[in-house]
Structure 1
Amino acid sequence: MHFTVINTFTLKDAADAADFEVRFLSHVEWMRARPGFVAHQAVRSLEQPGVYVNFGWWQRPEDFQAVLASDTFKAHAEEFHRIVDVTADPSFGVLRLDGTAAQEDDHLVVEYVTAGEGDDIAALYGRYADADGLVSVDLAKSLFARPGGYTALSRWRSAAQADAARATIVERAEPARPIAGTRAELAPAGA
């Protein structure tokens, strides 16, 4: 699995949404050209429209660290911090499920789960593989920010199918809409 960076961006002023999206898309274009970048998926919360979540997949943590150290990244970050608060959650991908092909009107959900001692969250999420309406799931385990915490981006044909599948798995779920990126095919780690 890949190193995953999950960033949550919260607008300081709701009026800055369009400005943020333009800046973010420009930033992502730059990121895509960096060594070790694999793919990303950015979504905007439907229930909290001032909140965006970006899942970024990298070959190795070192690839992302090199980006963080660059002057261009620092300049972009300085611009972002004027209009959003950022919470970073470096994570490690632990499960990737693929169901049917994605469609534009799929239902996306960012899911947050905290594991208790002995809980096997990846096995719980593995049950999604047999759920009706599954398009995809990417599950990542937080490395530092949320001890025992996992974040998943799941894609379903409908909200009802998502609700039925996760009824006993997830402690908080936020419906979202995509704003940038695609869930690209991941190259094998080290490739």
Structure 2
Amino acid sequence: MSFTVINTFTLLDPAGAAEFEARFLAHVEWMRAQPGFSAHQAVRSSDRPEVYVNLGWWERPEDFQKVLASATFQEHAEEFHTIVSVEADPSMGVVRFDGVAGEPGDVLFVDFFAVEGDQDAFVAAYRAHAQAAAALDGFVTADLAKSLFARPGGFTALTRWRTAEAALAATGLPEYAALAALAEVRTVPAAPVAGDRAELAQAGA
């Protein structure tokens, strides 16, 4: 599974969305050219439009560390900090599911899980839920990543759907009830901003 960098950006001024998105897209174009970069998916919270979440997938942690130490990255980071606050959560992918190939959906959810008990049991429960959800008409993809140190017991999931109705149906599955019993969850409905998680398959990640 891929090394996954999860960043949550919060606008310091809600009126700065256009400036942030322009700078972010320029930054991503530079990142795409760096060795080890696989794909990314940036989303904007539907409930709190001042909040953005980006998941970046890398072949190895070492690849990202080299980029992080570069002068260009540090320059970009300094610019970002003038318009957003940033919460970084380096993670490792543990579950990935793809639905039947077809038109990509624009209904996305980011789930932040906090697990106090058996993390292996939680991962197994998420895998069972994702497998059941993948059988639903309207499912596109699901990814689960485990926080390496920023959030002890923390996991982040990104799911993509063709319809909100399909996403709602997934929460009614018995596998979801079993999953929810093992962790506290904060769900962020979101809209896509940039990137395509499907590039992971093209990269063989």
**TM value normalised by structure 2:** 0.87
Q: Which residue of 1 aligns with 2:26?
A: 26
Q: Which moved more, 1:171-180 or 1:20-29?
A: 171-180
Q: Is the 8 A contact 1:100 1:136 kept in 2?
A: no
More helix by share: 2
Whichever residue aligns with residue 13 of structure 1, its letter is D
1:137 to 115, 137, 142: 142
1:101 counterpart residue number: 101
Q: Aligned pairs, how many?
A: 189
In structure 1, C-alpha distance between the alignment counterparts of 2:145 and 2:22, rounded to whole Å = 27
After superposition, residues 83-122 of structure 1 pair within 5 angstroms as 83-101=83-101, 103=103, 105-119=105-119, 120-122=121-123
Give the Cα–Cα distance (whole angstroms) in 1 for the partners of residues 130 and 169 of structure 2: 10
Report what 2:193 is aligned to: 179
Render the CA deviation track for 1:79-106: whole Å, top value 9, x for unaligned.
Answer: 0000000000000000110013364553
Give the Å deviation of 1:178.
0.7
Segments of 4+ moved more than 4 angstroms:
none
Q: Would the aligned equivalents of 2:105 and 2:161 in 1 still touch at CA under 8 Å?
A: no
Percentage of matched positions with identical amino acids = 60
TM-score by length of 1: 0.93
Q: For the Cα contact (< 8 Å) 2:104–2:140, is it kept in 1?
A: no
Which secondary structure does the structure 2 equivalent of 1:82 belong to? coil
Counterpart of 2:168 in structure 1 is: 163
- Give the CA deviation at 1:47: 0.4
Gaps of at least 5 residues in structure 2 are: none
1: CA distance, partners of 2:170 / 2:113: 14
**Which has the higher mean CA deviation after the structures are superposed, 66-75 or 96-105?**
96-105
